[in-house]
Amino acid sequence: MLSKALLRLGTSAARHPWRVIAAWLIAATLAVLAAITIGGRTADSMTAPGLDSQRAAQLIERAGTGQEGMTAQVVVTPLDGGATFFDRGSARTALTRLQSEVQRVPHVLGTSDPAGALDAGGDTAARGGLVSADGRIAVVRVQYPDQSRLSAEDLDALVDLGDRLRAELPLRIEMGGNLFYAFSDPDGGTSELIGILAAAAILFLAFGSLVAAALPIGMAVFGLTVGVAAMTVLAGVTDVPTFAPVLGSMVGLGVGIDYALFVLARHREYLARGLDPREAAGRAVATAGRPVVFAGGTVVVSILGMAVANVPFMTVGGFAVSIVVLTMVLASVTLLPAFLGAAGPRLARTGLIGRALRTGKPGRL
């Protein structure tokens, strides 16, 4: 039953490839536009009902201690290698100014007071953890309200202040804290790009065709775009944890390329037997597509199993990643056969690794 449905689906996609590709392009465009207009940002609302740590956090919030929000740390040291904050010189004056400037940043509830502790004595400041024992390093802890009241603009304001003060004060200034973790943008996916390039090189050697090597990667990237855009739309409705897009990208690229290889390898086998490319694509989806569907379903069920832990952020994160996996399964049985039908007989060429395995002479590589 499933094989027949997949045969009809794959054959239809291969016979009308440009319609299917156009439909995916429209879907991707709409998903990206929806992500831009109504999508939200990921947020770490890591609540865990029933745990002692969660009850403690709720008690702190109800008590109104001012410590229930987000924090940042500004760590400074004098540029002069011989100066310390214990000395009543330019370094301590600069620390006092930095502390007052940070307190005026929007939404800052308060800061620690290393300058005041130094006025009371170097030993007092060191015991309070505000200044290092040698007086070379001071820490200004910055208290913000809850993450729901903040945005990336608050992080930008603190970073801009640091950039300005670096040029004006004789201090080396470094910053960190969970404010940066919550609102900093990712590094641009450099690791994913390296993985894609490595996969492309291996696929090219195996298939001996640039088109054959590009199809699995192209399908995976296409499906990942739709899946991550849908995840962003979900973030506009509920709190999606920050790990979800990263995990979704890794899992999505992996299963997308893997599932595409199942179908592509079977398609090339049928081409070698002399079948028409469109018929070969349909049969490849009917045979290799069934384990793809079952494998994708198994991954989705496994990820959704995180809901059993009854931890809300893990449940939502698992659901978000499942969207990416389902998108990859759908692309494998619709978009990929369309690519195969459009490529025609050019995918029948055997690559270097394939020829070496057939001849039993790996030295030819």
- Domain with residue 170: its CATH number is 3.30.70
In a domain, 318, yes or no: yes
Of 163-177, 196-210, 260-274, least confident by mean pLDDT is 196-210
Q: What is the pLDDT of residues 6-48, one digit of tens each?
A: 999 999 999 999 999 999 999 999 999 999 998 887 766 656 6
∠ CA 267-198-342, nearest 5°, is 30
Residue whose structure tokens are 């760590």: 75
Pair (44, 122) in one structural domain: no
* Within-domain flag for 171: yes
User: Domain check: are 135 and 247 in the same one?
Assistant: no
pLDDT tens digits, residue range 49-60? 656 666 666 665
In a domain, 275, yes or no: yes
The verdict on residue 58 lying in a domain is no
Last residue of a domain, one of 157, 183, 209: 183
What pLDDT score was predicted for residue 206? 72
Residue 54 in domain: no
Which CATH number goes with the domain that contains 214? 1.20.1640.10
Residue 301, in any domain of the structure: yes
Q: Please compute the mean of the pLDDT values over residues 243-268 and round it to a whole number.
A: 87
Predicted pLDDT at 105: 94
Are 174 and 204 in the same domain? no
Which tens digits make up the pLDDT trace of 284-324? 999 998 999 999 999 999 888 887 777 777 888 888 899 99
Tokens read off for 346: 């050019």
Same domain, 256 and 298: yes
Residues 240 and 355 both lie in one domain:
yes
Q: pLDDT tens digit string along 133-150? A: 999 999 999 999 877 788
Write down the pLDDT at residue 174: 95
In the β-sheet with 138-143, what is the strand arrangement from edge to edge?
A: 110-111, 138-143, 71-78, 171-176
What's the mean pLDDT in 114-132? 87
Determine what percent of the chain falls in helix, strand and coil, rounding each to the nearest 5.
Answer: 70, 5, 25
Same domain (yes/no): 178, 193: no
Mark whether 125 and 10 lie in a shared domain. Answer: no
Give pLDDT, residue 365: 42
Is position 83 within any domain?
A: yes
Report pTM: 0.69
Identify the domain containing residue 210 by its residue range.
Answer: 2-48+187-364
For residue 331, pLDDT over 60 is answered with yes
Whole-number pLDDT of residue 283: 93
Answer yes or no: are the C-beta atoms of 224 and 253 closer than 8 Å: yes
Between 65 and 247, the higher pLDDT residue: 247
Q: Are residues 254 and 319 in the same domain?
A: yes
Q: What was the pLDDT predicted at 363?
A: 46
| 215 and 111 belong to one structural domain | no
291 and 235, same structural domain? Answer: yes
Last residue of a domain, one of 183, 218, 250: 183
Within-domain flag for 265: yes
Residues 211 and 159 in one domain: no
Q: What is the pLDDT of residues 225-250, one digit of tens each?
A: 898 899 889 888 888 887 788 888 88
pLDDT of residue 30: 94
- Looking at the structure of the chain, the number of domains it has is 2
Can you spell out the DSSP letters for 103-149?
HTSTT--EE--HHHHHHH-HHHHHHTTSB-TTSS-EEEEEE---GGG
Per-residue pLDDT tens over the stretch 179-229: 887 777 655 567 667 777 887 888 787 777 788 888 888 888 888 889 889
Shared domain for 164 and 214, answered yes or no, is no
**DSSP 8-state assignment for residue 267:** H
Give the Cα separation of 221 and 198 in Å (integer).
Answer: 15
CB contact at 8 A, 76 and 173:
yes
Average pLDDT, the chain: 84
Confidence class of residue 99 from pLDDT cuts 50, 70 and 90? very high
For residue 49, the model assigns a pLDDT of 61
Boundary residue ending a domain (154, 183, 212): 183
